[in-house]
């Protein structure tokens, strides 16, 4: 849930209902309300970003009360402005819009800034996926805007500042810079929205320029949205533009050159279909075409219905309608949860293991059967053991436990170093998660499940570990093969990559004396690390 705060009288006036009625209506929108003096705190479901401003709430409430039904349509005309998109590898997508005739005032300005920040947190994934800049259009001097990159010695006056600062000074000397400066920094440059004369308007996702600061008297807005996902960038601009238009603003499109669209905002429309039989079976209520269409109209949605299929037209402000289950939920909300009659059901189910868990248990049994003892290490570790490849924590509790592991190997070697006085051979294994960088993910990171096996003895040979590994993989129903692999961990000529068909699933080798010395180990060690996720994928047939 996302909490937004509105001035009570302002929101009630826009919605045209009493405070008690608004509370009941918001409940049917999966939202809750709490009154705090002259303000209303509204908890909005994260899948409804259109409700993060008072105009979006008012649009939905007017539908529920029947004051305005069907899709709210907004016209967009040409603005005469152009944005030229240059190569920005770290945030390649940009969209822009102009909204004129906006009535802000002090409370409207506060709410607009809140709306911007809540979108940053939700769709924007804390500005990593999407960043928004909102500017006073009258303070922009050129009708041609550029999206490019600027170096760290570039100077401008940041929002709230009094004198020009270099980008480097902003990144390392201001709160905004310290919070967001590293998100899109690449090769000593950051993305920037610039006037045609190269004056900075904003440096996404960090900060705007003081030049285009909004005030309570601002009526015409220039909005830029940048990010790593074209879909999210387009959706975010559509939501902002349509919510401002709901409040009386006029949308004007910006021509885009060398970008993903010819002009923006896109004001995208899609559709989602569901069979009436499916809707009735899931909801427990038989719907006719007429009833379904009337209920969807209350949700500010247009729809088409024939004898057995309902097609919902998704407007630019509703990005949460993705499949037929969403159509059912929308119909139930419009019918009113309080109007539903529950039916008694006694459901008996038996729990079962997921495929992933079952596979890990099978690996564990095979390793134990091969004579290995299972061990467990902490996910958090010391970054020095990872030669600069660990993911360091921003605020570690101690200097020794300051990173998230990116491999299971260092942990198992630390454990071996502390157990050199027990009977040989020592044969141990661990199955656990690691964390890797992944630019395709919203967070920038992804989890992987790995398995590590190690043998420490007074003398070792490659086949001592290769044999059990080979047997374990064959027991899973696949045949492994090996190719030579030299890296910093292994003795030259005594390391190999493990393949199943043409896919690499792990590595195996004898530890290099340099690594033994670093971990304080006095005996030779054989070690292998396997990708559990990859082995499971291959067993399932890809």
Beta bridge partners of 464: none
Query: HSE of 501 in the Cβ direction (CA atoms, 13 Å)?
Result: 10
CATH 4.10.1240.10 holds for 355-539 = no
Cis omega before residue 205 (within 30°)?
A: yes
Separation between Cα atoms, residue 524 and residue 266, nearest integer Å: 63
199 three-state secondary structure: coil
Strand 200-203 and strand 189-195: the pairing is antiparallel
Query: Do 2-64 and 270-337 agree at the fold level?
Result: yes
Cis omega before residue 425 (within 30°)?
A: yes
The predicted-structure confidence for 103-131, as pLDDT tens digits, reads as follows 999 999 999 999 999 999 999 989 999 99
- Domain residue ranges in the chain: 2-64, 76-262, 270-337, 355-539
Residue 398 has a pLDDT of: 78
Residue 63 burial by Cβ neighbours in a 10 Å radius (0-12, 13-18, 19+): buried
The pTM of this model reads 0.70
The predicted-structure confidence for 309-343, as pLDDT tens digits, reads as follows 999 999 999 999 999 999 999 998 898 877 777 77
Annotation: CATH topology of 76-262: Phenylalanyl-tRNA Synthetase; Chain B, domain 3 (3.50.40)
| CATH of the domain spanning 2-64 | 3.30.56.10
Separation between Cα atoms, residue 478 and residue 537, nearest integer Å: 12
pLDDT tens for the chain, 542 residues: list them. Answer: 899 999 999 999 999 999 999 998 998 888 999 998 899 999 998 899 999 999 999 999 999 999 999 999 999 999 999 999 999 999 999 999 999 999 999 999 999 999 999 999 999 989 999 999 999 999 999 999 999 999 999 999 999 999 999 999 999 999 999 999 989 999 899 999 999 999 999 999 999 999 999 999 999 999 999 999 999 999 999 999 999 999 999 999 999 999 899 999 999 999 999 999 999 888 888 889 999 999 999 999 999 998 889 999 999 999 999 999 999 999 988 988 777 777 777 777 888 899 999 999 999 999 999 999 999 998 888 888 877 677 888 777 777 788 889 999 999 999 999 999 888 999 999 999 999 887 666 667 889 999 999 999 999 999 999 999 999 999 988 889 999 998 878 998 899 999 998 899 999 999 999 999 999 999 999 999 999 999 998 887 65
Residue 439 has a pLDDT of: 64
Residue 438 has a pLDDT of: 76
Q: State in words which class domain 270-337 has.
A: alpha beta
Closest CA to 95 of 132, 135, 124, 127: 132
Residue 221 has a pLDDT of: 97
Sign of the CA dihedral running 380, 381, 382, 386:
negative
Residue 441 has a pLDDT of: 67
289-298 vs 324-335: helix crossing angle, rounded to 10: 80
């Amino acid at each position: 849930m996302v909490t937004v705060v509105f001035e009570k009288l302002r929101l009630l006036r826009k919605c045209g209902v009493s405070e008690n009625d608004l509370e009941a209506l918001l409940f049917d929108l999966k939202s809750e309300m709490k009154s705090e003096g002259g303000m209303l705190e509204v908890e909005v479901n994260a899948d409804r970003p259109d409700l993060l401003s008072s105009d979006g709430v008012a649009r939905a409430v007017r539908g529920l009360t029947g004051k305005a039904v069907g899709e709210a349509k907004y016209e967009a005309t040409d603005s005469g402005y152009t944005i030229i998109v240059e190569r920005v590898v770290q945030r390649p997508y940009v969209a822009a819009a102009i909204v004129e005739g906006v009535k802000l005032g002090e409370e409207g300005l506060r709410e607009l800034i809140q709306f911007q920040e809540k979108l940053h947190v939700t769709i924007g994934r804390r500005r990593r996926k999407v960043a928004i800049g909102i500017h006073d259009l009258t303070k922009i001097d050129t009708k041609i805007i550029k999206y490019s990159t600027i170096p760290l010695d570039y100077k401008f006056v940041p929002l709230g500042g009094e004198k020009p600062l270099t980008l480097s000074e902003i990144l390392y000397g201001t709160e905004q810079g310290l919070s967001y400066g590293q998100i899109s920094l690449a090769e000593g440059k950051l993305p920037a929205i610039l006037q045609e004369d190269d004056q900075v308007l904003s440096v996404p996702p960090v900060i705007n320029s003081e030049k285009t600061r909004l005030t309570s008297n601002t009526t015409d807005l220039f909005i830029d949205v940048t990010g790593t996902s074209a879909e999210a960038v387009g959706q975010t601009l559509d939501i902002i533009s349509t919510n401002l238009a709901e409040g009386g603003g006029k949308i004007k499109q910006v021509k885009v050159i060398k970008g993903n669209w010819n002009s923006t905002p896109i004001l995208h429309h899609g559709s989602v279909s569901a069979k009436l039989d499916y809707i009735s079976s899931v909801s427990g209520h038989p719907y006719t075409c007429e009833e379904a269409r009337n209920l969807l109209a209350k949700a500010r949605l247009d729809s088409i219905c024939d004898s057995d299929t309902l097609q919902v037209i998704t407007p630019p402000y509703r990005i949460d309608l993705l499949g037929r289950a969403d159509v059912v939920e929308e119909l139930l909300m419009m019918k009113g949860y309080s109007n539903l009659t529950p039916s008694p059901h006694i459901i008996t189910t038996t729990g079962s293991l997921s495929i992933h868990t079952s596979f890990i248990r099978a690996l564990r049994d095979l390793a134990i059967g091969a004579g290995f003892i299972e061990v467990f290490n902490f996910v958090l570790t010391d970054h020095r053991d990872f030669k600069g490849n660990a993911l360091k924590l921003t605020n570690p509790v101690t200097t020794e436990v300051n990173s998230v592991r990116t491999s299971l190997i260092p942990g198992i070697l630390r454990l071996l170093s502390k157990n050199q006085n027990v009977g040989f051979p020592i044969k141990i294994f661990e199955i656990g998660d690691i964390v890797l960088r992944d630019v395709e993910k919203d967070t920038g990171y992804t989890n992987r499940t790995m398995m590590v096996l190690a043998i420490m003895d007074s003398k070792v040979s490659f086949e001592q570990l290769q044999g059990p590994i080979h047997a374990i993989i064959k027991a899973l129903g696949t045949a492994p093969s090996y190719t030579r692999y030299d890296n910093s961990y292994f003795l030259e000529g005594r390391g190999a990559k493990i393949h199943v068909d043409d896919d690499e699933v792990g590595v195996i080798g004898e530890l290099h004396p340099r690594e033994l010395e670093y971990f304080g180990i006095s005996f030779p060690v054989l070690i292998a690390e396997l990708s559990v996720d990859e082995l499971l994928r291959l067993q399932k047939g890809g």
